[in-house]
Amino acid sequence: MLTILGFVMIATFLVLIMMKKMSPMAALVLIPALFCVLVGQGAHLGDYVLKGIGDLAPTAAMLMFAIIYFGVMIDVGLFDPVVRGILRFCKADPVRVVVGTALLAAIVSLDGDGSTTFMITVSALYPLYKRLKMSLVVMTGVAATANGVMNTLPWGGPTARAATALKLDAGDIFVPMIPALAVGLVAVFALAYVLGRRERKRLGVLTLGDTRVVTEAADERESEQVLVGAGAVGTGGGTAGGPRTSGGAGAGTGSGATSSAGGPQDEGDDDLQVLDPHRATLRPKLYWFNAALTVALLTLLILQALPIPVLFLLGAALALTVNFPHMKDQKARVAAHAENVLNVSGMVFAAAVFTGVLTGTGMVEHMARWLVSGIPDALGPHMGLVTGVLSIPLTYFMSNDGFYFGIVPILAEAGAAHGVAPVEIARASLVGQALHMSSPLVPAVYVLVGMAKVEFGDHTKFTVKWAALTSLVVLGAGLLFGIL
């Protein structure tokens, strides 16, 4: 009974948010509360919710201070050179923009933290996507899938969990998987190219030389701010009444730009200027301090010198104090990022209700054991393949902790009975991470969709099929190379 209700609860949640009948926050709270009552454990709802909140509170704290930290770094101009470099590469070509999205997300993912990756990627590319009228779900889908593949780094979380659960060395798990994961990353770039071609076909080839003028709406002016919700002073790339150019099929605004003073920019590498180079929050004299602080923070994060929430808390406090020594300015920066902080932390605590009920009632355990018990004995010698296949749906519907500490040991035990080494099970368990990063139980995905102003249901409908396909590519490569 718990097995059936567990699957029904998850299906109900996904259907309602994809059909936009409920907001994700409301669905994450109300649906598990209802099912908790239906299974006859309503009296324990409070305990389950508090347990879930306790488990996710450090994550919420980390996200809150990470948003403030990277928001301040964007405000003071730390990432301006990176953004300008990306824009020079992308120009006005949708193919380059989408491939650039995958590249940026993959590079930033080296720090092992999804929320950091999404904040930087969206901050850099959101204005360009809006300006070219490109689909924002393409940006969120490609970024999430690229981050999912890179999330398998030993310091990213899943590999460390698998090593801990099965008492293995993380290097023994990850290093042999590198060829398969590299193929998965190539698949992400191939996907980005295909989606970019689709966007190019829809929009036409946007050129810098087309001089047709379009009217600039109020929402376009808003979309050209440095960062969604960053509270940046002024907008870049155009003035309210200045001319804008459009090209190709006429389906999107083009790449011409005007300076903040209203005059036209010289055509060339800076034609796609989307950052206001004169915003009041810039701190050019502190650039190298901020760069060193960020590198030190990410290094300590990778080395796990301190808990991640503590690192970002200290980093945010130091960044605010040095860059904005006056209390009035500090309050203004915190207030500028308050909307993102509230939205993301609210979603994390709402997700705590879902995970708390799913785990506390025993539904997730019954679902997992039902799936494992359904594996035919004939597949015993192929438990590596079975684990890889199961990791795709299970890491989507479960937290990484639940999967790696609850399910993977069971799969390893079943494999050992047929001569399959635990390290092979551990490697196979990494296959589903490309899809996992779009799970409603992953707090970082709410940073992604919130900053990109994309409905979670739209992101889910678009991304799931591509992320699942990427996971299958990783699985196929692992089998082909004899890793699994």
What would the pLDDT profile of 404-460 be if each residue is shown by its tens digit? 877 888 888 888 888 889 999 999 999 999 999 998 888 889 889 988 999 988 999
pLDDT in tens, 140-170: 999 999 999 998 887 777 888 888 888 888 8
Q: Taking all residues of the chain, what is their mean pLDDT, rounded to a whole number? A: 80
How far is residue 92's CA from residue 128's CA, in Å, rounded to a whole number? 9
pLDDT of residue 410: 81
- CB-CB neighbours of 182 under 10 Å: 13
Q: Which of 63-67, 207-211, 429-433, 435-439 is the least confident region?
A: 207-211
Nearest to residue 334, comparing CAs of 204, 238, 229, 407? 229
How far is residue 255's CA from residue 131's CA, in Å, rounded to a whole number? 8
The answer, yes or no, to whether residue 273 has pLDDT greater than 60, is: no
How far is residue 151's CA from residue 391's CA, in Å, rounded to a whole number? 14
How far is residue 128's CA from residue 345's CA, in Å, rounded to a whole number? 27
Radius of gyration of the chain (CA): 23
Both structure tokens of 347 = 């979603």
How far is residue 189's CA from residue 99's CA, in Å, rounded to a whole number? 6
Q: Residue 245 in 3-state DSSP?
A: strand
Strand partners, 213: 245
Both structure tokens of 423 = 């390290």
- Rounded alpha-carbon distances, angstroms, from residue 150 to 250, 279, 399, 480: 37, 34, 17, 20
pLDDT of residue 217: 36
Model pTM?
Answer: 0.71
pLDDT of residue 206: 63
Residue 87 — very low, low, confident or very high, per pLDDT cuts 50/70/90? confident
The answer, yes or no, to whether residue 228 has pLDDT greater than 80, is: no
Query: CB under 8 Å, gap of 24 or more: what pairs does 382-386 form?
Result: 383/411, 383/414, 383/415, 383/418, 383/420, 383/424, 383/425, 384/415, 384/420, 384/424, 384/425, 384/427, 384/428, 384/484, 385/428, 385/475, 385/479, 385/484, 386/411
